[in-house]
Amino acid sequence: MMIRKHLKRHTRQRGWTAIDLVATAAVASLVAVLSLPMYQQVRISSDLQALAISMNQIHKIMQDIYMDQNPNEYPPTNLWPDRLEDWAAPANLQNVQELIDVLRQLCREEDVPGGRGNYACFYEQKENGQNYDFVAQDGSKVGGSNAKALSAFTHANPYWTIEPYDEWTNHMSRMSGL
């Protein structure tokens, strides 16, 4: 009988106390709060890299379209993008199809039929077909008040850029003389 009393005194029930649970939740919350900015930065960096790759592809494909079209010109605005195949020379059909594939990955459904992307895309032929403007703006920010929304811009010159929306707006205003 004495042994039983002795064993009962030294056996402890196992499990989590309320304090243990609160402390664990606090540590987990702290780790989550501290890692969130890093996660957001990695996500933004990944989105920027994907946008840069898409803009580079569009620029190169547009150069190929220009070189293979007879006479050399960029696609007309009124045929962009769903009637490009009707406009393209036979030698240009593969380039046009590659362009449409990239646009469908990048742009929203409203801008490109079959679009699966998040970007609002705008195209305009310039200078009688000798130049063009293509803009992709983060579709989730269009019309919003977020001044840090990203836009990408390319045209016929060997040039493309990704800028915050407010800088792009200033750039476009300077180009159009507004």
Domain residue spans of the chain: 14-176
Taking the CB of residue 51, how many other CB atoms lie within 10 A of it? 21
In angstroms, the Cα distances linking 174 to 106, 171, 178 are 26, 5, 6
DSSP strands (E only) in the chain: 119-126, 131-138, 150-155, 159-164
pLDDT over 50 (residue 35):
yes
Q: Region 30-59: what's the mean pLDDT?
A: 85
Mean pLDDT across 57-83: 90
- pLDDT for the residue 177: 43
**Residue 25 confidence (pLDDT) above 70:** yes
